[in-house]
Structure 1
């Protein structure tokens, strides 16, 4: 009975302290704002009592004041997070998950466990995993019989050619035939690289130097060679240059079959890219009809938070991820569960059959 009363007393003390802390925080906020506003008034009013800056300038300074107050409050709140949540937020940031996303996640988990005296690490992990899975959008394995023309587009150096070869290898493993077309006549060795991959599959490669030649190559594979699938490797483009995107649009318009459902266009992105660059690339390629994303080079980075970050600014589904140069493997159709586990534990093995 004595122990029960002591436990009850401690709980009441904690509740009282938390209430006092909240009141103190609100008081601190008001004090900060009053002090900053006083400083603003003293610095912006001239000796004769006239305003020395424009109303717009004052409004800008007021916005800055509010921003600083919010930042200070956030820092104070961060200090009060339970240790497991502090550790999780730090880990997510180490994985280069966007700071705002990491903060939203831990705050949601904190709210979920509100009133729980001790939160275990495994409980935090499971809750964060669930939040990640809710944010991720995956396409699932491709149904090869439905997609007759497969195109890869994207910036230079992200691994489009190797990725296309991996898709081709998986298709021929299903006892179906493929033909390759490359429009990349700029990058040194691009044609030879694709031809080497195609030879391993006993497949033919055609180089299309213009939109007219691309149309002829497609007609050849459809009417003469009569392959099941045509795989098109487009030249790497600088997404910051408008003309580059227009060129991609022109080629894709020519490649488009009568039944648009038979064509799959994939935007290839590198998991080693900065979030800002990924966002800009996705923004530029909005002009192009993209069906899905492929993330490459997961083996070349310790931090794959960028894969999660893209879902902050796109609804495109993720089709595949890759993690190596071997065209006979190293490509996977991830599930939400697999990706969430990979983000929370970088040693998680990738898996997922890419053809349904």
Structure 2
């Protein structure tokens, strides 16, 4: 790609849009990394070149995400879904329970997998509300001997997020995949934060885990070695061959984020971009509707419907023709969804909002 004009407006829910600046840097370095005569992904993961890349990426992740010193960062393969199992495997010991908020598809997946490895219960289930909101703290039915409360901070499919953090007497474990480093976290509430990199931070193939160091002394040791957090932490995420290319790209994305103004800038931009789309929905006199309760609307995944499925298909077809890509909602819920991750430019959101206004003007409700 030789110019920005060749780039589509990519609203994909994952893999995510990446900064054009980062893609071009990787393109330039790909064949011959720093004059070594080979690509970084061909080198030993224990060589000096990759060691420098990994160390820098770890340091930047702590800095950009404003992570306290009493946490360690791990780069592991398997994405967030492997963590659905590793979390109860490591954190639950005899007599302890894991509490889960069922806020939608990804939370339900975490619950399903966790049940194979420990005593798991659902502290709140959003099914009766069709997963259109998150719970209040008062609605959480916590039980005795609970080790942690697992929350999916942002549901990519349903387009809902925790606007207010749960107030409970146990540590939180958070799947932050689809809003990773797009908002600040109250770290004092968490023992473990995790997510797949491919929704906001880089290419697919890696999970990024922040874990409180003090709990590593008490994690389960009766596991296969790769499944133990303490082993990965002790080896600096080099217990086995790590996901080299995702780590390399992740580091570059973090540099780009820092250059843009860091976490505060990403948080502000997320509010601006989502705000523009929600205004387009709310100001449409009901032509576009968002099923999510206003207070719980996601700032990363904006879901909306049109008056009919016929109009939705026309909307998706015509939007793609003008370069607005990947706006189809998840197959389980239908409708439309715009994922507006950190690297998606505000200009892309403005283009979508303008298209939405034009489409509603040109396609009366009676045409549906």
Structure 2 length-normalised TM: 0.34
Relative contact order (C-alpha < 8 Å, sep 6+): which is higher?
2
**Which structure's residues are more often helix, by fraction?**
1
Which TM-score applies when normalising by structure 1? 0.35
Structure holding more strand per residue: 2
